[in-house]
Amino acid sequence: QFVYCGKKATLSVGNCIPLGAVPEGTIVCALEEKPGDRGKMAKASGNYATVIAQNPDAHKTRVKLPSGTKKTLQASCRAMVGVVAGGGRIDKPMLKAGRAYHKYKVKRNCWPRVR
């Protein structure tokens, strides 16, 4: 599989396209907030954003983010078509305390919780 980036790239999963070239209702991920910031939004496992509306006159695109908020972005901001891999990762139970220990060891002191 080849992955293409730019205005001339086709609308297929994995390609990086400016938001102005993406049709409404398309699922995208790794959106740029400002053109050229290399993708800041909808990057966690299983996340995606949906293109709601296009305004070609003002060069703006309206996007629904994973949090449910709707944001207006510039049409020149790039986004990757598709969903981030790893969806359903948190559905699997840890089963034992050792796995929880190693998970929270790298984070702050929030485990174990006694009360």
Q: pLDDT by residue (tens digit) across 30-69?
A: 999 999 999 999 999 999 999 999 999 999 999 999 999 9
CB atoms within 10 A of CB 56: 9
Model confidence band, residue 86 (pLDDT cutoffs 50, 70, 90):
very high
Q: Kindly report the pTM of this predicted structure.
A: 0.86
Q: Is the dihedral of CA 60, 15, 25, 50 positive or negative?
A: negative
Fold exhibited by the domain 16-90? SH3 type barrels. (2.30.30)
Q: How far apart are CA 105 and CA 40, in angstroms?
A: 26
Domains of the chain: which residue ranges?
Answer: 16-90
Q: Compute the C-alpha angle 64/35/87, nearest 5°.
A: 40
